């Protein structure tokens, strides 16, 4: 009877791996979203935040999402969005950057220290947002990329911390405010 909980955990993990394999195959056919922005998920914990970011990315029209050093995750919390937002997989941030550096994007690192508040700038149409691990931050030294800009999300609470999937959603929302689509405008009118 002591093995029963472990057997359930192994079964759930196996089911998640099967869902991931199936959805990753479907992701190959995913088309870029309506907007030009890209997300880079740098070394995030796969299980909890990654599928939720795909869900928000699909809702806000992300062109694509790059995953750096992120393994298998259960796509179920994405509610099907993983098959609609193109995913690009990289072993390291340097590999990811090499694929994007000549594409005309402005790179933004989301971190609270020495950063400009998100609401204080106009985001360029070709924006690339880098989100790091909640505990460890980004996997590279920011000074290695001096052209990267730093952004923070203004907060008024005592704890200056947001869940990374929430932070990603706020950034994508602000991008949509800066670059509304014609169809978005007609829905609210």
**What DSSP designation does 179 have?**
S
SS (H, E, C) 110-132: ECCCCCEEHHHCCCCCCEEEEEE
Q: What is the pLDDT of residue 62?
A: 97
Residues 6+ apart with CB under 8 A from 114: 150
| 36, containing H or E segment | none
**Nearest in space to 40 (alpha carbons), one of 116, 108, 142, 119:** 108
Residues 6+ apart with CB under 8 A from 123: 37, 108, 174, 175, 178, 179
Domains of the chain, start order: 3-188 (3.40.1280.10)
Q: What is the pLDDT of residues 92-131, one digit of tens each?
A: 999 999 999 999 999 999 988 889 999 999 999 999 999 9
Q: What is the pLDDT of residue 4?
A: 66
Q: What is the pLDDT of residues 130-171, one digit of tens each?
A: 999 988 899 999 999 999 999 999 988 877 778 999 999 999
Regarding pTM above 0.85, the answer is yes
């Amino acid at each position: 009877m002591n093995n029963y909980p472990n057997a359930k955990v192994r079964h759930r993990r196996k089911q998640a791996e099967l869902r991931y394999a199936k959805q990753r195959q479907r992701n190959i056919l995913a088309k870029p979203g309506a907007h030009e922005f890209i997300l880079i998920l740098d070394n995030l914990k796969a299980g909890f935040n990654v599928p939720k970011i795909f869900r928000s990315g699909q809702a806000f029209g992300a062109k694509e999402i790059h995953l750096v050093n992120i393994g298998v995750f259960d796509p179920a919390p994405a509610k099907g969005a993983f098959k609609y937002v193109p995913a690009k997989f990289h072993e390291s941030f340097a590999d990811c950057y090499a694929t994007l550096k000549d594409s005309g994007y402005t790179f933004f690192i989301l971190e609270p220290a020495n950063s400009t508040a998100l609401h204080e700038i106009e985001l360029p149409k070709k924006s690339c947002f880098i989100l790091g691990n909640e505990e460890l931050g980004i996997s590279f030294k920011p000074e290695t990329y001096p052209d990267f800009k730093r952004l923070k999300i203004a907060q008024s609470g005592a704890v200056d911390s947001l869940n990374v999937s929430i932070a990603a959603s706020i950034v994508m929302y602000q991008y949509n405010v800066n670059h509304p689509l014609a169809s978005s405008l007609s829905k609210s009118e």
